[in-house]
Amino acid sequence: EVQLMESGGGLVQPGGSLTLSCEASGSTFSSYAMGWVRQAPGKGLEWVSVTYTPGSNIQYADSVQGRFTISRDKSTNRLFLQMNSLRAEDTALYYCANIPLARGGAFDMWGQGTMVTVSS
Amino acid sequence: EIVMTQSPATLSMSPGERATLSCRASQNVNANLAWYQKKPGQGPRLLIYGASTRATGIPARFSGSGSGTEFTLTISSLQSEDFAIYYCQHYNNWPPMTFGQGTKLEIK
């Protein structure tokens, strides 16, 4: 079983940058894909980005395309989300989650989340 | 983009009752549908994937059904720990994968 722990959240001004990290432990070899999902205060879940094999394919939601960059370091079992040009609407609790091949495209295990607040 | 619509927005029920939550996709997603449970202060928990397969460790009182555009999550006999927000998510030809807006299951 995979365990995930996010870090790197905080308060940042509009237009600023922040990098989130997600450390994976346990049966990480079973993670076909890894992704980020966020939840704005009082809102529902929103898929943000995913990286998946083969070929380390990457996709982003339209709302973050061109501003966010997802990356994965398999040697350290870490997933990252580089966030640039942050906006107030990016304020949310950010979760990382894994997708084992056996789950199709369902997010199997989730972290506890890290909070990002964009405000002046 | 496929839009996922959940109903009702809020469901008020008592422990021991049977709960039925609905999820509709704006296009055919085959059986590529998952259900999650979300409680305050916790990450989401995968309940069902493939529209009807229970995830590891999920009690048998949770069941999923449907295919195409109409899906249902049924909780056969509500326990106190089941009161939470439930989300459906499609992953047909993912990415992208979109979530419904959620159904809040509250104690009556």
Q: Which tens digit of pLDDT belongs to each residue from A18-33? A: 999 999 988 766 678 9
Closest CA to A105 of B20, B77, B95: B95
Taking CB atoms and an 8 Å limit, are A104 and B102 in contact across chains? no
Comparing A100 with A19, the larger pLDDT belongs to A19
Interface membership of B67 toward A (CB under 8 Å) = no
Largest CA distance in chain B: 39
Helix (H, G, I), strand (E, B) or coil at A85: coil
Structure tokens at A29: 């070899």
Closest CA to B6 of B83, B95, B70, B82: B70
Helix (H, G, I), strand (E, B) or coil at A73: strand
User: How many C-beta atoms surround the C-beta of residue B7 within 10 A?
Assistant: 12
Closest-CA distance, B45 to chain A, in angstroms, reads 7
Chain A residues inside the 8 Å CB shell of B46? 103, 106-110
Q: Which tens digit of pLDDT belongs to each residue from B7-50? A: 999 999 999 999 999 999 999 999 999 999 999 999 999 999 99
Q: Which tens digit of pLDDT belongs to each residue from A2-60? A: 899 999 999 999 999 999 999 998 876 667 899 999 999 999 999 999 998 766 789 99
pLDDT recorded at residue A30: 60
Chain B residues inside the 8 Å CB shell of A109? 46
Integer Cα distance of A61 and A14 in angstroms: 20
Taking CB atoms and an 8 Å limit, are A45 and B46 in contact across chains? no
Best mutation target among B5, B37, B67, B94 (most A Cβ atoms within 10 Å) is B94
Integer Cα distance of A29 and A20 in angstroms: 22
